[in-house]
Amino acid sequence: MNTRKVGKIYEDAAEDYLNSKGYQTLEKNYHCRYGEIDLIVRSEEGVVVFVEVKGRSKTNWGEPAEAVTPLKQKKILRTAQDYIYKSCLNTETEYRFDVITFDRGRMEHIENAFC
C-alpha cells in the first residue's frame, strides 16, 4: 500500500477518534500556498484545533511526533493563519495545535503540541 493511502487511513482514523470525543470537523486537508493541514476541528468548548497526523509502521526514521519539525510547525502556523483569515473567524476564538500519531498500531493524541 502506498504512503498516500496509508496517510488517508491514519487521517480518517484520527478524524473518527476526534468526532467520538465531541469535536466537529471543519476542514480536511486544507491547502494554501504555505502548506497543508490534515484536519481542522472545533472542540466542544469552541476551540479551533489544527491537527497534524503522523504515522510510522517502523521506527527506522524515528518517532512519528519527531517528524513535526520546527520547519513543519512554521508551515502549519502560516497555513493556519491563512485559514483564519479566509474563514473570517472571530478574533476572540481560541486556537490550538495538536498532533495525532500512529506508531505500530498505537494512537497518541498530543494536545498543545506546539504554538
Between 96 and 104, the higher pLDDT residue: 96
Cα dist. 71→8, 35, 59, 67, 108 in Å? 23, 11, 21, 10, 22
- Structural domain count of the chain: 1
CATH value at residue 74: 3.40.1350.10
Lowest mean pLDDT among 11-20, 52-61, 100-109: 52-61
Residue 106 pLDDT > 80, yes or no? yes
- Residue 100, domain extent: 3-114
How confident is the model over 31-81, as pLDDT tens digits?
Answer: 999 999 999 999 999 999 999 999 876 666 667 777 889 999 999 999 999
By C-alpha distance, which of 5, 14, 3, 11 is closest to 109?
A: 14
Element (H, E) at 78: helix 70-87
pLDDT at 91 (0 to 100): 80
Dmax over CA atoms of the chain, in Å, equals 43
